[in-house]
Amino acid sequence: MKIKVGIMGSADDAITEGVGNVLRKTAEKLGSSIAHKDALLLTGATTGVIRIAGLAARAAGVLHIGISPASNVSEHVEEYDLPVDACDAIVYTGFGLKGRNVVLVRSCDIVLFIAGSVGALNEFTIAFDEGKIVGCLLGTGGVADEAAHLVKVLGKPTKAKIFYDEDPDRLLDKCFAALE
């Protein structure tokens, strides 16, 4: 059975120039790196760097499954304003954003973070509490860069294994090694 890798992070489409170009290239490399591991990709079927990584993964031959907060495709597009073009299939949970996050994180063998704001923080705390293998792509900002501090602040021991790296390939190598 293929390993299920989830990408969590910034769904913000307003990526600023300069930083945005670097972040965009990093997201594309992350998507391509998953193809080298012959894994399945799970995301929140969303926008921003998550969509960019998902499109790159699909272009490299990865099966990309989106987990939607909506009940159906029209709600996904019209109410949540989310795209359908980056995923091969979308599971419509009908659980809203926070409920979708639980389903998404629990469905992953490895949970990766690239940048990220409040939604990614929610996903991180779920992954941490659930004892998941977590990879944080350093240098991308947000939750990915602050995760080590968050773990100290949370102060709760869990079975989570958290890895940090600036390179998507090395980060995935660390996370896959932890599965063995």
CATH number at residue 43: 3.40.50.450
Domain span at residue 36 reads 4-179
Mean pLDDT calculated for residue range 131-152: 96
pLDDT in tens, 14-49: 555 555 788 999 999 999 999 999 999 999 999 999
Q: How many domains does the chain have?
A: 1
Q: Are 41 and 31 in contact (CB under 8 A)?
A: yes
> What pLDDT score was predicted for residue 177?
98
> What pLDDT score was predicted for residue 12?
76
Mean pLDDT calculated for residue range 120-144: 96
Neighbours of 91 (CB within 10 A): 15
E strands in 69-108: 89-92
DSSP conformational letter for 15: P
Neighbours of 66 (CB within 10 A): 26
Any idea of the CA torsion for 175, 30, 89, 160, to the nearest 10 degrees?
30
> What pLDDT score was predicted for residue 21?
81
> What pLDDT score was predicted for residue 16?
52
- pTM equals 0.95
